[in-house]
Amino acid sequence: MKKIISIVLAVMLVVSVAAVSAGAYNSDGDYSKLSPDGYNPADSYTVDANTPYSEEAIVACGGDLSETQTMYFQAPADWANEFNTFEGPDDSEPYMHVCAYWWSGIAGAADKGWPSGKGCTWVGYQAHLVDKANRIYSIKMPNDGGSPTVVWNNGVNGGMDDTKPIFQYGRQILDANTEGAVEGDYDTLPEGSPTQDDFDGCIQIIDYNVKRPNPLTGFDSYGFNWYVYYGKGCYGSYSTDSDNFTSRYDNCLNPEHLADPDKYHPAPGDVNQDKITDVLDAELIQKYLVKLEDLTDTQKDIADVDEDGYISVIDATRIQRYVAGICEIDGTKK
């Protein structure tokens, strides 16, 4: 039944997402359009560095950020263009800004005159860039059932005038049901989503084998698959508490990692990359911390064993405990 509802929603939305605006209504608070200073996504047809994030909308509507789900998306490299690429904080290297919006048109859709009623969700809100090397973005949205659909886009509304240069740059994927998957709903999530009720901690990966041409623009909107996001560009089919999960690297299904040894390494903690995790790796971390050795970006990624975003003596200690047989490399007891 969940898949049927999702398909119906997708059919209803296929025209609306190509246009400049689409209606949205949430009986528990219109999270889809409100944010500080009265920002409405209708005011911004193309993303810019000041486009707000979804957290701003949720807070402005009186929502609770602890009652949200965080979803991820891997943006294709060719989504970047002159309209959505800006310098990062502190004049850091420019990067592509990606957006997402959600539609909450189930409750009150009829009496609000959807799709011409209140609310507008294009281009939506900025997604957070959480992994630049792997082009991974995240967004928070309410998980109270009021926002059942999310649509990722590259922050460019191409409109419908094919004489304008911007027309060629708009990209998006098909509408995604975000109310959760139970066992058997998705082949890519054989055990369902980690929380079952929503897709918190999951990532959408484009499936170029599934596409639907938009009747207004002629551009294809591509399908997607759901996976569990493990971090650092890795995703797979099983939740981390599943018996089928062994490690982030072993379960990683990212083809870019599998094809590029600089991004993928099968031995967590193997900082010196000699195919074995041992005390030499702990010693290398210690030397790095006192500036006696330098590490490549790949080695730094591997050295952050506890995945807290920092390389510290705790990581070296974790490796030493692992080598001594006291714990697994992820810190769990043997």
Burial class (CB in 10 A: 0-12, 13-18, 19+), 304: buried
- What are 184-198's pLDDT values in tens digits? 788 999 999 998 888
pLDDT at residue 268 above 60?
Answer: yes
Percentage above 90 pLDDT, the chain: 23
177 vs 12: CA distance, rounded Å: 13
User: Buried (b) or exposed (e) across 106-142, using 16+ Cβ within 10 A?
Assistant: bebbeebebbebebbbbbbbbbbbbbeebbbbbbbbb
Question: Where in the sequence of the chain do the CATH 1.10.1330.10 domains occur?
Answer: 265-323
305 vs 329: CA distance, rounded Å: 7
Q: Helix H segments across 89-219?
A: none
- What are 71-123's pLDDT values in tens digits? 999 999 889 988 888 876 666 678 898 988 776 533 333 333 223 334 435 67
pLDDT value of position 62: 67
Q: What is the band of 229 on the pLDDT scale with cuts at 50, 70, 90? A: very high
Fold (topology level) of 265-323: Type 1 dockerin domain (1.10.1330)
Residue 5: Cβ within 10 Å count: 14
Most confident segment among 111-115, 139-143, 214-218, 281-285:
281-285
More confident residue, 250 or 207: 207
Most confident segment among 43-52, 206-215, 246-255, 318-327:
318-327
More confident residue, 124 or 233: 233
* Cα→Cα distances 147→179, 262, 266, Å: 8, 39, 38
Residue with tokens 């009021």: 146
Q: What is the band of 18 on the pLDDT scale with cuts at 50, 70, 90? A: very low
Q: What is the side-by-side order of every strand in the sheet holding 149-153?
A: 125-126, 99-103, 149-153, 176-177
Q: Give the residue-averaged pLDDT of 265-284.
A: 84
Residue pair 248/242 in contact (Cβ under 8 Å)? The answer is: no
Residue pair 155/83 in contact (Cβ under 8 Å)? The answer is: yes
Q: What is the band of 164 on the pLDDT scale with cuts at 50, 70, 90? A: confident
- What are 27-37's pLDDT values in tens digits? 333 444 443 44
pLDDT value of position 314: 93
pLDDT value of position 113: 29
pLDDT value of position 103: 60
More confident residue, 133 or 9: 133
Strand partners, 156: 46
Q: Give the residue-averaged pLDDT of 295-320.
A: 88
* pTM beyond 0.75: no
Q: What is the band of 266 on the pLDDT scale with cuts at 50, 70, 90? A: low
More confident residue, 214 or 306: 306
Distance of CA 180 to the CA centre of its chain: 15
Residue 83: Cβ within 10 Å count: 20
